[in-house]
Chain A
């Protein structure tokens, strides 16, 4: 559903993303893990159509993002790490505008607005300006817009940042249910507990290159870790655990 093939992004001589290949199948929850500056967000932004790859191919729902950008974007729901919302619109207006961008006809929009606001517990704020929302509320509004057009695939960058435990549980629940209904989800995250708990497969990226890919257990094997070992220590082994040592020494 989301297929990334030999993706490369270069900034001058610097290669931020280096030959990344991913395949997220329908119903699969795929964790995209890596240290800061590894190339996760750059990859996600290319999948969303915000950055032009230097080379490689991205397919969403079998539509090539380069040659059929509208069809590919219509099938994708994108949740960025720093989302933009029009501050002077109300939550309801933002969702209605979003519906129009995805070509949804007026008849189905009103009911869908209430459905999504209910789902993300924002119904009572429907007519409030977004500028008065807390970070968590904005995050939930962005998610309701990303799922509004019933996407077949979702790319989400750091969804848990700034959410309270209730919000985080809500989001996890929504993702799990979407995955059960066949939506392919590619989630970039630092929250390894969430990745371990929810992801069917993970890819670990470092310095722009995928260094491990597979189920959580397969990745543990690659790192030479025990099956019951936590993903955090596996991650540190694969990406270089010297940081922890330094912290201990301090």
Chain B
């Protein structure tokens, strides 16, 4: 410690309150943290940047290219084309309106009530109004980042329709207030729920919203019934279809105002009325939300800090199941612990719901589509869809694995010392993680593959090949995720951060490569077999071709099994090395 005089000066009591802090100041930690991350790059940052950058470029190119093509197509129909374009823009904004409102609810819950830094900020003399603006800016950024995907779409439309500069200016002045409105509504919904419902249930909001969102997606798409377009021979149905498309678009919604503003921009004009409606509504919503926060944020924040209600405190079914499984006591306890921890963390498993909804929709479409009406979907080409399904199931599996299986070791977090200091071998520990993850992933993807192929009416041989491929691919991908998760753990990070880390990105690259190799190796013998069924002499199943089928299918099994075993062994080795 320094001299008494210095210490005395350092600890002297001073004048208390000086000048109020402005709300952008409260965003500084996020900005400084981002800057520090860039300055102190970690291993894999470049790789991650390259991968995500490449994906971003491909997505942007696809979106702008697709929207350009569509805009060119509809422009060929003059007035009807204009109608279609307005309808399309309104639907685009209507979809985003729903996404943003849902995202606003979830983001507001996190940034206004659950964020760790509130424990610091709430103790400081920051005015409630300024804290609101800072947190709302954060909520807006977190909830509306997906609006960036609209930029390439609008650029594609603009270029496709030779839109003047006014269109691009209108795009900017439309997107900004358009994003604010649903996010403010979502935030208001969160504020109300946190204050109205018992605090212990506040976190269940996430689950509720996730379910509602999943149901909303399915209902929205079923409401439109796009499969009716298949009935091209019946014009009344087409008219009916467009009437259905028009029905949810009401002039009362901001999506309509945004669509009209942009359409006016395409035509070289400015739609002052709808622009004004967007800006005044966004402004009014922000002011009203700020007012509500000044009154009800602190009570809600105070309530949200109460301990969440324990779910599955008594989970007899799990205990019974674990008791009958042929497991050692150690693995049984690890299984029960992992399942309970996962089920109790709503914020984790709720993320599966939108994915499940999309998969169900994917399957439902096969059921309602009358494939025989589509010429190119009948016969041989239809069987190619078996591989599309295989790829789809593979990518769904990779996504689930990187988000839920890869972080399994990291999820032990600060409690990992319990494992490290107990008489459990790292082999047992990691294999327990593997088997715990394998069962649900295998059941989910196997059902997805079988259901999609049955609904499509794929050849039985291909159904068997696809089902078998998914089994070995599941072992490989779950093993790879578990092994790499142990090799590159991020104990201090949450599951999302761990999934986006160097190891997570590495897993995704390897997983995609493995899926491509598997599809290629399965596709070759399958095509030989399918060709032989055409009955043509030159495609007959010769002994050489039969050998190729056996060898390539064996290679798939070999590559997947090798990936599984090597990844797991590498993971166990890394954990052992950590133990020292």
Residue ranges of A at the interface with B (Cβ–Cβ < 8 Å) = 11-12, 48-52, 61, 69-71, 73-76, 78, 80, 82-90, 93, 97-98, 100-105, 115-116, 118-119, 121, 129, 131, 147, 149-152, 170, 173-174, 177-178, 181-183
State A74–B125 Cα separation when bound (angstroms). Answer: 5
Residue ID in chain B nearest A173 by CB atoms: B1
Q: How far is the CB of B431 from chain A (nearest CB, A)?
A: 32
Chain B neighbourhood of A86, CB < 8 A: 29, 32-33, 117
Q: Contact check: which of B9, B36, B305 meets A129 at CB < 8 Å?
A: B36
B residues less than 8 Å from A131 (CB atoms): 492
Give the chain A neighbours of B34 by CB distance below 8 A: 88
Using CB atoms, name the residue of chain B closest to A169: B1
Q: Contact between B125 and A102 (Cβ–Cβ < 8 Å)?
A: yes
Closest B residue by C-beta to A116: B10
Complex contact A89–B17 (CB within 8 A): no
Q: Which B residues, 1 to 53, have Cβ-Cβ distances below 8 Å to chain A? A: 1-2, 6-21, 25-26, 28-29, 32-34, 36-37, 40
Q: Cβ of A51 and Cβ of B302 under 8 Å apart?
A: yes
| List of A residues within 8 angstroms of B40 by Cβ | 129
Instruction: Check if B123 is an interface residue, CB within 8 A of chain A.
Output: yes
Give the bracket for the number of chain B residues in contact with chain A.
35 or more
- Nearest-CB distance from A107 to chain B (Å)? 11
Q: Are A97 and B125 in contact (CB under 8 A)?
A: no
Spell out B's residues near A (CB within 8 Å): 1-2, 6-21, 25-26, 28-29, 32-34, 36-37, 40, 116-117, 119-128, 198, 298-299, 302, 305-306, 492
Q: Is the CB of B7 within 8 A of A177?
A: yes
Docked-complex contact A152 and B122, CB < 8 angstroms:
no
Contact among B37, B116, B126, B299 for A88, CB-based, below 8 A: B37
Contact at B2–A52, with CB atoms within 8 Å? no
List 20 A–B pairs whose Cβ atoms lie within 8 Å, in order of A's numbering: A12-B198, A69-B125, A70-B17, A73-B123, A73-B125, A74-B16, A86-B33, A89-B32, A89-B36, A90-B36, A93-B36, A97-B28, A101-B125, A103-B19, A118-B10, A150-B12, A170-B1, A173-B1, A177-B7, A181-B13
Q: Is the CB of B13 within 8 A of A150?
A: yes
Q: Is the CB of A102 within 8 A of B124?
A: yes
Given A74-B16, A93-B36, A177-B11, 7 more A-B residue pairs with CB atoms under 8 Å apart are: A88-B34, A101-B25, A101-B125, A103-B17, A103-B125, A119-B1, A177-B7
Instruction: Note all chain B residues with C-beta closer than 8 A to A71.
Output: 16-17, 125
Are A181 and B11 within 8 A (Cβ)? yes
Give the chain B neighbours of A118 by CB distance below 8 A: 2, 6, 10
Q: How far is the CA of A147 from the CA of B12 in the complex (A)?
A: 9
Q: Which residues of chain A are within 8 angstroms of B6 by Cβ–Cβ distance?
A: 115, 118-119
B28 in contact with A11 (CB, 8 Å)? no
Question: Closest Cβ of chain B: how far from A128's Cβ, in Å?
Answer: 10
CB neighbours (8 Å) of A73 from chain B are: 123-125
- Please, how many angstroms separate the alpha-carbon atoms of A70 and B19 in the complex? 11
CB neighbours (8 Å) of B119 from chain A are 50, 80, 82-84
B29 lies within 8 A of A74 (CB): no
The 7 residue pairs across chains A and B that have the minimum distance between CB atoms: A150-B14, A88-B33, A74-B17, A103-B18, A52-B302, A74-B125, A70-B125
Instruction: Give every chain A residue within 8 A of B117 (Cβ-Cβ).
Output: 84, 86
A97 and B25 CA atoms in complex are apart in Å by: 8
Q: Is the CB of B14 within 8 A of A50?
A: no
| Nearest A residue to B37, CB-CB | A88
**How far is the CB of A248 from the nearest CB of chain B, in Å?**
28
In the complex where A88-B36, A88-B37 touch, is A49 in contact with B12 (Cβ < 8 A)? no
Whether the pair B36, A119 counts as a contact (CB closer than 8 A) is no
- Contacting pair B8 A52 (CB below 8 A): no
| Bound Cα distance A147, B121 (Å) | 16
CA distance A70 to B7 in the complex (A): 28
Q: Kindly state the separation between the CA atoms of A170 and B7 in the bound complex, as whole angstroms.
A: 11
A51 and B305 within 8 A (CB) = yes
Within the assembled complex, what's the spacing in Å between the Cα atoms of A206 and B33?
A: 42
CB distance from A148 to the nearest CB of B (A): 10
A173 and B40 CA atoms in complex are apart in Å by 36
Are A84 and B116 in contact, CB atoms less than 8 angstroms apart?
yes
Known: A131-B492, A152-B16, A174-B11. A11 touches B306 (CB 8 A): yes
Neighbouring B residues of A129 by C-beta, 8 Å: 36, 40
Specify which of A12, A84, A85 lies most central, judged by the most chain B CB atoms within 10 Å of its CB. Answer: A84
Q: Is the CB of A152 within 8 A of B298?
A: no
Determine how close the nearest CB of chain A comes to the CB of B418; give it in whole angstroms: 18
Contact A105 B18 (CB under 8 A): yes
Q: How far is the CA of A101 from the CA of B117 in the complex (A)?
A: 13
Nearest CB in chain A to that of B2: its residue: A118
Q: How far is the CA of A172 from the CA of B215 in the complex (A)?
A: 59
Chain A residue with minimal CB distance to B40?
A: A129
Taken together as a complex, chains A and B put the C-alpha atoms of A115 and B12 apart, in Å, by 12
Nearest CB of A to B111, in Å? 14
A141 → chain B closest CB, angstroms? 12
Task: Give the CA-CA distance A147 to B9 in the complex, in Å.
Answer: 12
Complex CA gap A78/B144 in Å reads 35
Whole-angstrom distance between the Cβ of B417 and the nearest chain A Cβ: 14
**What is the minimal beta-carbon distance from A173 to any residue of chain B, in angstroms?**
7
Closest B residue to A48 by beta carbon equals: B123
Say whether B18 contacts A102, CB under 8 Å.
yes
Q: A90 — which chain B residues lie within 8 A by C-beta?
A: 36
A49 touches B32 (CB 8 A): no
